[in-house]
Amino acid sequence: MKKEDVVAIMSLHTPETIYSIYALNQLGAIVNLIYLTLNAEEILKQTDEVGSKMFLYLENVQDKVKEIKSKMKAEQIIYLPIWNSMPFPLKQIVKQKSCRDNSLDEFLKKGSKEIVLKKERYQPNMPAVIVYTSGTTGEPKGVLHTNDSLNAMAFQYKLADMGLTTNSRVLNAIPPFLGFGITVGIHTQLVLGLEGILQIDPNADAVAKAMMKKKPEHMIIGPAFISAIMKSCKCNMRW
């Protein structure tokens, strides 16, 4: 990978996804964030139309990828295991072995003896990530964010004095392929030194359970889930 190469990632906000986004950014590559809910042909279109050289996908959607893998122009196809960062007992339950593509761990092992790659130096308006519009008024369109635009968003939240102080606990249930997910759900938390709680399951009951257990000061979630979460929480929400 080199500067301005494009790498497509179709995943949720798992630790492995976040590591990959920032590792690619260090090399100056552009991350093309693909909606996890797209059908196979839509995935192929959004991956190939920007010339993605590599495709990383969450293991759970391997059936969609199988349909289009032979048509993809990407040079390497790698899956991100959903179970990698899980506690040991749960990892053994959900671990899948049916995937034939290289896993992220296998890919990283191949490069473990290679020379240390040189990081790209900062330049103004370097492209960082591509996110897509929802397509409610037509076909979804790719929106290119630079490092500067992502940082500007993070510092706007700092200047807004919303109580996002260092080590504040933030529960995030927004995936990275949404603009709000990558800018606020991931990047703003890291820039401001917040403690991020990655809630991968967006189900209202699961979010409510995580909220009551972790007791975060802030939440990042779609407005449609708020009423459902309020109904799901049966006890006092003050802490």
Residue 169 is predicted with a pLDDT of 95
Percent of the chain with pLDDT over 70: 90
* Total-model pTM: 0.88
Mean pLDDT computed over 101-106: 80
For residue 96, what is the domain's CATH number? 3.40.50.980
CA 202 to chain centre: 14
Residue 113 is predicted with a pLDDT of 73
Could you identify the residue written with the tokens 């010339």?
51
Expressed as residue numbers, the domain containing 86 is 6-121
221 is a domain residue: yes
29 lies in the same domain as 105: yes
162 lies in the same domain as 224: yes
113 lies in the same domain as 196: no
Q: Please tell me the total count of domains within the chain.
A: 2
25 lies in the same domain as 103: yes
pLDDT digits (tens, 9 = 90+) for 53-83: 999 999 889 999 999 999 999 999 999 987 6
Q: Angle at CA 171, nearest 5°, toward 165 and 174?
A: 115
pLDDT digits (tens, 9 = 90+) for 31-60: 999 999 999 999 999 999 999 999 999 988
Region for 138 from its dihedrals, namely left if φ exceeds 0, alpha if ψ lies in -120 to 50, beta otherwise: left
